[in-house]
Amino acid sequence: MGLFERFRIGLARSRGGFMHRLDQLFRDGEIDDAFFETLEEALITGDVGVGAALQLVEQLRREAGRLRTRRREAARELLVVKITALLENPPAETLPAAKPLVILLVGVNGSGKTTTAAKLAYRYRRDGRRVMLVAGDTFRAAAIDQLQVWADRAGVELIRQQPGSDPSAVFFDALNAARARSADVIIGDTAGRLHTKTNLMEELKKINRVIGRALPGAPHQVLLVIDATTGHNGINQASRFNEAVPITGLILTKLDGTARGGIVVGVQDILKIPVCYVGIGEKIDDLEPFDAAAFARALLGSDLEM
């Protein structure tokens, strides 16, 4: 099942049927001020962020005028193209051919790092790569146990130490072990941390430094895991994490709910960090590569009656 179909099912289940409203909004007719206002509302209720929403609608207004477009259906297509282009600029980087390839997952508490780490490990393993997970969250109670269960499900090895160990040391040892066992891909889970906690962000910087020391060039990918229900704070999260360790991509989780995860548009607009994957369920294979066009389409609806 493709991403868009999953969106459809998830959203159709929400009150009144989201797709129905979307279709109503864009049911063919003339564009007018009310149409643009509704569009703005749709973007804002999708958490695109006020700044980006106002900007997009204003651009659309001008462009529609320039192209003398009066049809709603055409205006929608224009906006879909616009958002898609925004989300695809810059495109996700191709990964270096490093061995082992080191991927680090970071994010605030409860965003879904542990589950996502396992899903990602499963994807790589399915591609025939030799994958190792690293239990870098030594702080949260039972986080290591949780990842162990997921590692078993994904059929990959987990490198773990005692709860409370220094996470940097865990990664240092893990990288050496991974090299000895000639792993292709190493995926590191880290403890959830609010981006405002100076000491925890310092800890993250240290983890990043230590990984780089153990294996020059690593980590090759640092992915920020963002919950799709996140509001404007997602922009603060992305910029503060990015200041601490350069973020190469985003993973948008919990997109199987009613939240549309529009904040990645705002993040992309400001920080130019591409979305790499989306999490769409609780099963091990519920992680898909990001499809900007499908995402843009799904975004352009609104639960207007709330």
Partner 1 sequence: MFAHLAEKLQKTLRYLRGKGKLSEKDVDLAMREIRLALLEADVNFKVVKDFVAAVRERAVGKEVLHSLTPGQQVVKIVHQELTALMGREQSRLLASTAPPAAVMLVGLQGSGKTTTAVKLAVHLQRGGRRALLAAADIYRPGAIRQLEVLSESVKMPFYSGANARPVEICRQALKLASREGYDYVILDTAGRLHLDEAMMDELKEIKAAVKPAEALLVVDAMTGQDAVNAAAAFHRAVGLTGVILTKLDGDTRGGAALSVRSVTGCPIKFAGVGEKVDALEPFHPERMASRILGMGDVLTLIEKAEAGMDLAKARELEQKLRKQQFTLDDFRDQLQQLRKMGPLEEIMAMLPGAAQLPRELKQLSFNESQFKRIEAIISSMTRDERRNPALINSSRRRRIASGSGTAVQDVNRLLAQFAQMQKMFKQMGSMKQFKKGKKGFPFL
Spatial separation of the C-alpha atoms in residues 258 and 21, rounded to whole Å:
14
Burial 34-59 (b: 16+ CB within 10 A, else e): ebbebbbebbbbbbbbeebbebbbee
Tokens of 23: 């279709």
205 touches partner 1 (CB under 8 A): no
Is residue 233 a contact residue for partner 1 (CB under 8 A)? yes
Minimum separation from the CB atom of position 181 to partner 1 (A)? 24
Per CB under 8 A, the list member of 79, 132, 134, 143 interacting with partner 1 is 143
Judged by CB under 8 A, the number of residues near partner 1 is 58
Answer for which of 145, 176, 181, 272 binds partner 1 (CB under 8 A) is 145
169 belongs to the binding site for partner 1 (CB under 8 A): no
Name residues whose C-beta falls within 8 Å of residue 284's C-beta, 6 or more positions apart in sequence. Answer: 118, 119, 122, 150, 153, 154
Does residue 160 interact with partner 1 by CB under 8 A?
no
Among 3, 270, 284, 293, binds partner 1 (CB under 8 A): 270
> Which residues, 28 to 57, sit near partner 1 by CB under 8 A?
41, 44-47, 49-51
Question: Whole-number minimum distance, CB 126 to partner 1, in Å?
Answer: 20
Contact flag: residue 119 with partner 1 (CB under 8 A): no
Q: Does 89 bind partner 1 (CB under 8 A)?
A: no
Cβ neighbours of residue 20 closer than 8 Å, sequence gap 6 or more: 12
Map 237-271 to HEC letters. HHHHHHHHCCCCEEEEECCCCCCCCCHHHHHHHHH
Using the rule CB under 8 A, which residue among 168, 254, 275, 288 binds partner 1? 254
Answer for which of 20, 70, 197, 213 binds partner 1 (CB under 8 A) is 197
Return d(Cα 10, Cα 13) in angstroms, integer: 5
Q: Which of 2, 5, 14, 285 binds partner 1 (CB under 8 A)?
A: 14
Q: For the CB of residue 95, give the shortest distance to partner 1 in the complex, in Å.
A: 27
150 binds partner 1 (CB under 8 A): yes
Question: Is 91 exposed, middle or buried, given 0-12, 13-18 or 19+ CB atoms closer than 10 A?
Answer: exposed
What is each CA distance from 165 to 12, 110, 281, in whole angstroms? 46, 21, 31
Pick the binder of partner 1 from 116, 230, 242, 248 (CB under 8 A).
230
